[in-house]
Amino acid sequence: MKVNSIRDISFKSIYTNNALKRGLEFAADNGALFAATTTLLLSAGARPAAIWLAPHTDKENKKVACAKSISSSAAGYLLTLGVSSPFTNAIKKIDENPQNYLKPSTIKFLKNGNEKLYQSKSYTLATQLFKLGLGLIVAMPKAILTCAGMPFVMQKVFHKPKPQKQQNENPSFKGKSGEKLAQGVGKILDTKCMQKFSDRFKDSNFPMHIVAATDALTTATFIHETNRSDKIEERRKKALIYNAGISTGLSIISSYILDKLTEKPTQKFIEKFKKVNINDKNLDKQVEGIKIAKPILLVGCVYYMLIPFISTFLADIADHNPKLDIPHKSRKNLKREV
């Protein structure tokens, strides 16, 4: 009996951990920035370590892959930080005072029998379109900045010679949260199209789908930009492109498999979490945070810790196979064709 009571106390301490709760609330409030922060932390150590441990792989290919990881996470974090904050504040305004931004008919429809608007699955899905969808919006700019930042990372981290031509890109991200943005989001939520969409897909695995779509779009853009870049060494492009494609493909497939395998354990965790924190005023937000954080952490751990070890090795094999050569088109060649 004593052993059981000790276990109960141990597990209860996990469910009531304040750091965990704050993290879940952060994920619920700003899913895109939570994903970017997770990526930044994992890519700073876990992914470079996994890449470096890949066996029988060209050392220079490893350096380029590490530079891509660091550049990508930094670009993604800065872009998301600049774009997401205004939307997060706008949605928080709607959460607190929906009557000021939504039509009564919209509130009634989205509530769908729930006492509070934020308890509704339909409303949660609708707001997640903004919270997680921002990651999809910055996917292409992130990939472009990743390519632009790689030579800088190679120079500073791996002491590569400075390129002859250097572009100084200092993007500034400005955003002011205010009534206009909250009213704009409210008008979108008022549309019948958005209401029907959120009601139809409220029970779907939307967070996982949006994370997968974001990764796929980012990688596709990165491959395109790498292939036409004049600042990345031609002899390193092939391994870099294959590494990116293999990493994303394997991580998306394996993440969906893991997501399915952890579906029941996650539901049990949520049920237990609700029982332990039944009197917590932020319980609904914390539960939403669990649902958002799960796919982000799954994809993050797979992509940044497990896959790099495999993809770096396979990309190096592809790099030495002439049959898998990729036709390169630099910006100079594209200009000539025009």
Global pTM?
Answer: 0.65
Return the pLDDT at 160: 58
Q: 322 near 241, Cβ under 8 Å?
A: no
- Identify whether 17 is part of a domain: no
- Identify whether 147 is part of a domain: yes
- Identify whether 172 is part of a domain: no
Closest CA to 87 of 39, 37, 142, 30: 30
Nearby residues of 318 by Cβ (< 8 Å), 6 or more positions away: 238, 239, 242, 324
Report pLDDT digits (tens) over 137-187: 888 888 888 877 777 777 766 655 554 444 444 444 444 446 788 888 888
- Identify whether 40 is part of a domain: yes
- Identify whether 71 is part of a domain: yes
Helices within 132-233 (DSSP H only):
133-137, 139-157, 179-190, 192-200, 206-227
- CA 261 to chain centroid, in Å, comes to 21
Domain membership of residue 226 as a residue range: 24-162+178-337
- Identify whether 6 is part of a domain: no
Our count of domains for the chain comes to 1
Radius of gyration over every alpha carbon of the chain, rounded to an integer in angstroms: 22
Residue ranges in the chain modelled with pLDDT below 50: 1-9, 163-177, 331-332, 334-338
Task: State the sign of the Cα–Cα–Cα–Cα dihedral 37, 42, 44, 45.
Answer: positive
- CA 6 to chain centroid, in Å, comes to 37
